[in-house]
Amino acid sequence: MAEDPQREPDDEFRDMLRKFLSGGSDIDPSQLAGAAGLPNDPAFVARLMGQLQDAVQKGGDGIDFSAAGERAASIAKDGGQAVDPATSNALLQAFQVAALWLDDVTTVAELTEAPRLLTREQWTSATMPVWSQVAEPVATSIADALTEVIDTQAPEELKSMLSGASQIMRSVGGALFAMQLGQVVGQLSTEVVSGGDVGIPLLDEQQAALVPQNVAAFAEGLDVPEDEVRIYLAVRELAHARLFRSARWLRLHLITSITEFARGIHVDTSAVEDLASSFDPSNAEELQNALASGALIPPRTPEQDQALARLETMLALVEGWVDVVTPAATTRLPKSAAIAEMVRRRRAAGGPAESAFATLVGLELRPRRLREAAQMWQTVSDDLGAEQRDALWSHPDLVPTSEDIDAPEALVARLRDPQDGSDEIDRAIEDLLNDTTDDRPHEATDGSATDRD
């Protein structure tokens, strides 16, 4: 039978993809899953192929993150446990104690919503909207790179006809990234102990939450009564949530900073071409290593480095504040120092969020200046008190800077006598206005303008 002369190359490409996704090609679909860092068990591979087939059918420019939610929920559900009544009562009582103790050491506003206890699966569902928002710029960049590779490699006379093929690849690439996001978030659900455990506010600004199953796992590694662990972690979570509730601008500021950083990421299409030309389908680890190592993402630009420095400073300020408030509120716990040390070790080892952000947006979220930021907050607390310390969160312009972290004594001196700083600013404005006035042409007595000598 003669070939249909009206049949376009993108139709053939679509059929080829459908054949592969339905298992009718020589390529093993499990190799694709393994290369992307996803499980290669038959049941999961079948679901993956179904998701990619759906992406081929739907097309569209946007990234469909519904697959991410389904994958994350599947991982969280495997081995997940419901919250039993006894544990629920114990944790809710821990939150009540934590709220009273925090009232003694901080002036930030109380929450208006009751704290929640989440299963691992509920945690994935509650946090997925923020994860999708953070990851979308990188997913779009990957999809754009796949489209660009097809467009640049195709002969000029075929480019218009291959536009459909590039759109299909864009959809498939986005769907594959969404599955990776679900894998990462699902794994995180087995590790996080609270809503604020990753450093950024994944829940609403009015919400505090603990994951009881993971709190119990955290306590297992300590020679500390579990009720003390519960209260300590409840204090940390409430302090984190209260801060974001009090500083209304902070949540949007942090999430926007992360997404803006992610928008600056562009996948190196030349690296994609090199990888594709040398890729051995029998060696899935090659592609997996390239994806996991960030080899496809070019070095950060100077603008990204500056954005990263600002973001790390703000994260260090948030975590440093929590690290100062929590010990102050938990002095009644005999083993609070041991629990704090466990928190520090866990964070030093990478914490639950580090691999997530490194994989999804190429961003190291471990605040390297956390210790210095905590020392700064402690200095302000000791010298000026909790009220003046917490007032610094009331407006973005009042929040300490990186320079303040380096010189907390100078910050305290400025806060003690703010008039000195105001006088300096006023003098600088006056000098600027005087310079501007002196540079303007002067009017002659007859009304004309003359240049000043």
Question: Which pLDDT value is given to residue 53?
Answer: 62
**Tokens standing for 162?**
């291959």
Percentage of the chain beyond pLDDT 90 is 40
Question: Which pLDDT value is given to residue 114?
Answer: 93
H/E element holding 117?
strand 116-117
Q: Binning pLDDT at 50, 70 and 90, where does residue 438 land?
A: low
**Tokens standing for 285?**
């680890």
User: Considering all CA atoms of the chain, what is the largest pairwise distance in Å, rounded to the nearest integer?
Assistant: 98
pLDDT tens digits, 26-55: 445 555 555 455 566 666 556 655 665 665
Mean pLDDT of 409-429: 71
Which one is predicted more confidently, 452 or 194?
Answer: 194
Q: How far apart are CA 103 and CA 108, in angstroms?
A: 8
> What average pLDDT is seen over the chain?
77
On whether the CB atoms of residues 51 and 306 are closer than 8 A, the answer is: no
pLDDT tens digits, 363-415: 665 667 889 999 999 999 999 999 999 999 999 999 999 999 999 999 999 99
Identify the CA nearest to 171 among candidates 298, 13, 330, 406. Answer: 13
Q: Which residues on neighbouring strands pair with residue 443, listed in sequence order?
A: 449
Which one is predicted more confidently, 69 or 142?
Answer: 69
Structure letter (DSSP) for residue 222:
S
Phi-psi region of 389 (alpha: psi -120 to 50; beta: other; left: phi over 0): alpha
On whether the CB atoms of residues 55 and 195 are closer than 8 A, the answer is: no
pTM for the complete prediction?
Answer: 0.76
Question: Which pLDDT value is given to residue 448?
Answer: 45
Give, to the nearest 10 degrees, the angle between helix 302-329 and helix 226-246. Answer: 130
Place of tokens 């790179």: 145
**Tokens standing for 173?**
């690439």
Distances (CA, A) of 275 to 38, 135, 141, 384: 19, 23, 17, 58
SS3 (DSSP) at 191: coil
pLDDT tens digits, 197-233: 888 889 987 899 999 999 999 999 789 999 999 999 9
Percentage of the chain beyond pLDDT 70 is 60
Residue 22 in this model has a pLDDT that exceeds 70: no
Q: How far apart are CA 385 and CA 60, in angstroms?
A: 55
Q: How far apart are CA 165 and CA 17, in angstroms?
A: 10
On whether the CB atoms of residues 34 and 40 are closer than 8 A, the answer is: yes
Q: Binning pLDDT at 50, 70 and 90, where does residue 176 land?
A: confident
The one-letter amino acid at 137: P
Phi, psi of 320 (to 5 degrees): -65, -40
Mean pLDDT of 235-254: 94
Question: Which pLDDT value is given to residue 54?
Answer: 65
Place of tokens 């901080």: 106
Question: Which pLDDT value is given to residue 199?
Answer: 81
Q: Which residues on neighbouring strands pair with residue 450, listed in sequence order?
A: 442
Q: Binning pLDDT at 50, 70 and 90, where does residue 340 land?
A: very high
- What are the DSSP E strand ranges found in 167-259? 209-210
Q: How far apart are CA 320 and CA 333, in angstroms?
A: 20
On whether the CB atoms of residues 353 and 232 are closer than 8 A, the answer is: no
Number of H helices, E strands in the chain: 20, 4
Question: Which pLDDT value is given to residue 13?
Answer: 44
